[in-house]
Amino acid sequence: MTLQAPWGHARLLPLITRAAQAGRLPQSVLLFGPEGVGKRSIALWTAAQLQCREPSPPCGQCRDCRLAVRMQHPDIHLHFPMPRPKSGTPQKMQEASEAMRRERLDLLAKDSLTPLDEGAATGIYLSAIRNIRAAASKRPVMGEFTVFVIDRAEAMVPQAASQQAANAFLKLLEEPPDFVYILLTSSRQAALLPTIRSRTAPLHVPAPAAEQLAEHLVEAHGADPAVAQAAARQCGGALGPALRLLESGDGDAAATADRLFGALMSGSFSARQRAAAEFSSRGARATLGPAVEELRTRMRDLLCSAVGTPELAFSPKTVESALSGGRERVGGEETPDPDAILATFPALDVAAEAANHNLNPQSTTAVLLRDMSRALSGKPGA
């Protein structure tokens, strides 16, 4: 965790700063935008800015800033979905919830990209809401403000068992004490309770352009340019997912698959030949296998687009750009027919099997692209 201004938001951050310094920042804000663009980082940076009393906050040096970086500032409360605490008295459950939260904050202090969401079995439950209300009813410990950051606020589920607590939280959102700020984040704005949406000032956090992210990945994270471009496109400009992709090493396979997919969709024989020739002649299992699997997901995305559900695609931008590139070159051609797309899958199975047996990746890829291309043009086995 650092207090550097979160990357990729050069337009948004000065707006927040000006509003905060002029005392015009709304007290209940909803930061919404795509997954992984840095909404939580922006909220925590804003929280530190509200606490820091130096001339250009957050200075990163003062006591407030240092505590904020370590996730230990007593007046900054980060909440996020967690497993439900074991049943017990409300008091015991609140304590258990708080202990879990502290544990995760320590992890987050060490690595700000630690994924906090552990799947569907988590939520922001009543015990956490009660803790928030308790903290909001006391004056801040160190400074002027108490700031709550509630990450993935859509995980605040309606809790019929305690309408009273839910209502009290809504009242807090609607009329916070003058020393309280509540910053909610969500990438699933539609899933938020309408009662929460209507009580917060919306602040859109857009994803930076993929090209801009690719440059950043090369300059600040030493990524290979081709890998960076593929990762940035696949993640739609979102930094968090792109970094995880690079770390996992799957970025290489994604870049290769994008290259193969582009060659395939170009409809050009020589482009396919060139794409195949870029493989080294050995080590198919390590390089070709993962790329074939990635290419399979591109074809799946293409199928989503062909059957009219492009929103289900994993990397819609890749498909879109390959399709528009193909249209320009081939001249007015539409998305391939769903049956033709389905007919390419057997060739992928054959290539996966070949990669698994460590066959020559160049010739395997040449055959793969030839067979897929034939299937797409409706001439399988021609």
Stretch that binds Zn ion, among 14-22, 56-64, 124-132, 224-232 (CB under 5 A): 56-64
Using the rule CB under 5 A, is 5 a contact of Zn ion?
A: no
Among 13, 19, 20, 62, binds Zn ion (CB under 5 A): 62
Among 1, 29, 37, 52, binds Zn ion (CB under 5 A): 52
CB of 206 to Zn ion, least distance (A): 27
> Which candidate, 124, 112, 213, 130, places its Cα nearest to that of 168?
130
CB of 2 to Zn ion, least distance (A): 13
Using the rule CB under 5 A, is 144 a contact of Zn ion?
A: no
CB atoms within 10 A of CB 92: 13
Strands (E), the chain: 28-32, 76-79, 82-83, 122-123, 146-150, 180-186, 201-204
Using the rule CB under 5 A, is 65 a contact of Zn ion?
A: yes
Specify the pairing of strand 180-186 against strand 146-150: parallel
CB of 68 to Zn ion, least distance (A): 8
Distance CA 290, CA 124 (A): 37
CB of 45 to Zn ion, least distance (A): 12
Using the rule CB under 5 A, is 67 a contact of Zn ion?
A: no
Among 2, 14, 21, 54, binds Zn ion (CB under 5 A): 54
CB of 124 to Zn ion, least distance (A): 29
Whether the Cβ atoms of residue 227 and residue 251 lie closer than 8 Å to each other = yes
- The dihedral formed by the CA atoms of 328, 331, 336 and 341, expressed in degrees to the nearest 10: -70
Nearer to Zn ion, 16 or 65 (CB): 65
Among 59, 100, 113, 366, binds Zn ion (CB under 5 A): 59
Kindly report the backbone phi and psi dihedral angles of residue 31, in degrees, each rounded to the nearest multiple of 5, phi listed first.
-90, 115
In this structure, what DSSP letter does residue 61 have? Answer: S
Using the rule CB under 5 A, is 19 a contact of Zn ion?
A: no
Nearer to Zn ion, 65 or 372 (CB): 65
Nearer to Zn ion, 75 or 294 (CB): 75
Specify the pairing of strand 146-150 against strand 76-79: parallel
Using the rule CB under 5 A, is 69 a contact of Zn ion?
A: no
DSSP-based three-state secondary structure for 217: helix
- Binding residues for Zn ion (CB under 5 A): 52, 54, 59, 62, 65
